[in-house]
Structure 1
Amino acid sequence: MGAGPPPPIRDHGQSATLGGVELTPAALAFVTERRLATLTTHRPDGTAHVVPVGFTWDAATGVARVTARSTSRKVRNARLAESTGGRAVLCSFERAQWITLEGPVRVRDEPEVIADAVARYAVRYERTPREDPLRVVVEITVDRVMSSSHLH
């Protein structure tokens, strides 16, 4: 029997809930203001693949979303992780403030999921991404949060 995903944890003042994580007001503001993050996935050989991305946070579901082309390395890595129970990590920072969101990853290609992710991106980043028929959504169901003390 596998170990399964780790239970939600409490790090640096974030309160954990059964369905994911609940961010402090400061952390919630940090992940909804306009800034980028790095997305870390793992290549088939196990090495880390780290790229800058825009992302959105869905506080109601505890899901972080990144839109990307289905042919990109990050999506190929996420698909591999999804098939093996793997995880992905987002880390957003500005000066001394930072937050890391980690959890199981999956790739979604349903049109309604993509449209929702694009709409959320447009609100956060104040621009609508150009049309891309190869767009998919990388979803991380966050079960672990770490942050700087500023975001308690």
Structure 2
Amino acid sequence: MSRATVELPATTRAFLTRPHTATLTTLRPDGSPHVTPVRFTFDAATAVARVTTRATARKAQNVATGGSTARVALCQADGFRWVTLEGQATVADDPARLAEAVRRYTVRYRAAPPAPLDLVVIEIAVESVLGLNL
């Protein structure tokens, strides 16, 4: 996964550390959007967002099916403030990558994420950021 450099204002970086829920939009095999609420983390230094989920979840399947062209949008909103992170996504079950995703999630949300046996991480190489009122 290539790492993009994304410059973010301090207010946007701060907003992305607050323990909000976001929506993740992936594309089904027929091209229609699948939107689901998720918790996520964002590493501004590497421009990588992470979402933990089950391997059998539709969002993970959509990303895996999309291969090297799987693009997603992750949008966090709070009233009239919002930020959307867009980029290429991959699904990983590598133990080290899962451990890092769980560690970051636990720091952000102050509780560990659910830990099903088929836990995977969707990693998003963020290439563009849109936002309002940040």
Deviations along 1:28-67, one digit per CA (max 9) or x if unpaired, are: 0111111010000000111000000000001111000000
Alignment of 1:117-136 (within 5 A): 117-136=101-120
Q: How far is 1:84 from its partner?
A: 4.6
TM-score of the two chains, using structure 1 as the length reference: 0.83
Percent identity of the aligned residues?
47
Take 1:96 and 1:32, find their aligned partners in 2: how far apart are those partners? 17
Deviations along 1:97-144, one digit per CA (max 9) or x if unpaired, are: 000000001011100100110010001001012432200000110001
Equivalent pair of 1:66/1:138 in contact (CA under 8 Å) = yes
TM-score of the two chains, using structure 2 as the length reference: 0.94
1:114 aligns with 2:115: no
Report the equivalent of 1:49. 34
Take 2:87 and 2:78, find their aligned partners in 1: how far apart are those partners? 22
Point out where structure 2 has 5 or more consecutive residues left out of the alignment.
none
Equivalent pair of 1:20/1:141 in contact (CA under 8 Å) = no
Q: How far is 1:19 from its partner?
A: 3.1
Equivalent pair of 2:55/2:118 in contact (CA under 8 Å) = yes
How well do the aligned residues superpose, as a CA RMSD in angstroms? 1.2
Equivalent pair of 1:40/1:49 in contact (CA under 8 Å) = yes
Alignment of 1:48-127 (within 5 A): 48-81=33-66, 83-127=67-111
Point out where structure 1 has 5 or more consecutive residues left out of the alignment.
1-17
Equivalent pair of 2:4/2:125 in contact (CA under 8 Å) = no
Report the equivalent of 1:36. 21
How many residues are paired up? 132
Q: Which amino acid aligns with 2:69?
A: G
Equivalent pair of 1:38/1:92 in contact (CA under 8 Å) = yes
